[in-house]
């Protein structure tokens, strides 16, 4: 797709040189700005498709999420968080910065769905040879129709500055950790479940 884009830019420049009318140049400007938006989108898409290299370290998920809940600057105070964790350490191999991006994307979604008196329940438990993390909120829930599309890139119901990439990126990171993520909803609840393989 880079080839045709470059071609269109060159043709546009050639047209600019042929025509003098300012009104036409304003149309060329609009065309050029759309072309550059398209080029930017293409770059973004390419980066989303790339498989990242990970520097894995053992992470105790209970401690990691407890720290997230305890650090108030890391989550908005417009909803309350209830936290439960397994008593034993739940160790997974992960890259902490990327996993934090997952938690942040989920917290942001809860914040953006929040109306009043929203509560988020975060649980970390053991399930067989997996660590299971659940984020359950009561911010309104998601319709059946939308549920099937949540992980699609650019699927958003918000518009504005939201790109519809939060859950797509979350799933990419979790799958690259050999884990799974799923979302279920029954009004007014939304439950995100993440499973990551335990290493001990
Ligand atoms: N906790 C939630 N409660 C209600 N709806 C949700 C929740 N989480 C996600 N959604 C719905 O899923 C859609 C996709 O979420 P996603 O995080 O991928 O994109 P976004 O939040 O719209 O945009 P971005 O994350 O790129 O800012 C949202 O637009 C919203 O409709
Ligand atoms: Mg989001």
Owner of token pair 């929040």: 114
Minimum-distance ligand to the CA of 162?
A: 1
At which of 12, 33, 49 does a domain end? 49
Can you spell out the DSSP letters for 46-113?
Answer: HHHHSPPP---EEEEHHHHHHHHHH-GGGS-TTEEEEEEE-SS--EEEE-HHHHHHHHHHHHHHHHHH
180 CA to middle of ligand 1, Å?
Answer: 18
174 plus 80 within the same structural domain: yes
151 plus 61 within the same structural domain: yes
143: domain range? 57-197
* Distance (Å) of CA 1 to CA 38, 41, 46: 10, 11, 11
Pick the range with the lowest mean pLDDT from 36-40, 109-113, 145-149. 36-40
Whether 69 contacts 122, CB under 8 Å: yes
Total domains in the chain come to 2
- Please state the rounded mean pLDDT for residues 171-175: 95
The residue ranges of DSSP E strands in 144-188, in sequence order, are: 180-186
How would you label 30-50 residue by residue, b for 16+ Cβ within 10 Å and e otherwise? Answer: eeeeeeeeebeeeeeeeeeee
Task: Pick the residue whose CA is nearest to atom 1 on ligand 1.
Answer: 110
Q: What percent of the chain has pLDDT over 70?
A: 97
pLDDT digits (tens, 9 = 90+) for 67-89: 988 876 666 567 888 999 998 99
Residue 192: CB within 6 Å of ligand 1?
no
Residue 167: CB within 6 Å of ligand 1?
yes
146 CA to middle of ligand 2, Å?
Answer: 14
Minimum-distance ligand to the CA of 154?
A: 1
43 plus 7 within the same structural domain: yes
């Amino acid at each position: 797709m880079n080839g045709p884009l470059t071609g269109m830019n060159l043709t546009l420049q050639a047209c600019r040189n042929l025509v003098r009318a300012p009104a036409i140049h304003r149309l060329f400007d609009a065309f050029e700005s759309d072309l550059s938006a398209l080029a930017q989108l293409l770059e973004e898409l390419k980066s989303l498709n790339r498989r990242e290299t990970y520097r894995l370290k053992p992470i105790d998920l209970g401690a990691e999420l407890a720290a997230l809940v305890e650090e108030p600057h890391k989550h908005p105070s417009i909803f309350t968080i209830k936290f439960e964790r397994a008593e034993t350490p739940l160790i997974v191999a992960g890259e902490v910065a990327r996993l934090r991006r997952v938690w942040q994307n989920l917290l942001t979604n809860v914040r953006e769905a929040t109306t009043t008196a929203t509560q988020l329940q975060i649980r970390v438990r053991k399930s067989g040879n997996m660590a299971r993390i659940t984020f359950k909120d009561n911010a309104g829930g998601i319709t059946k129709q939308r549920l099937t599309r949540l992980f699609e890139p650019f699927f958003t119901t918000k518009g504005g500055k939201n790109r519809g990439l939060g859950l797509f990126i979350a799933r990419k990171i979790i799958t690259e950790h050999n884990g799974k993520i799923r979302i279920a909803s029954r009004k007014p609840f939304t439950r995100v479940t993440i499973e990551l393989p335990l290493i001990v």
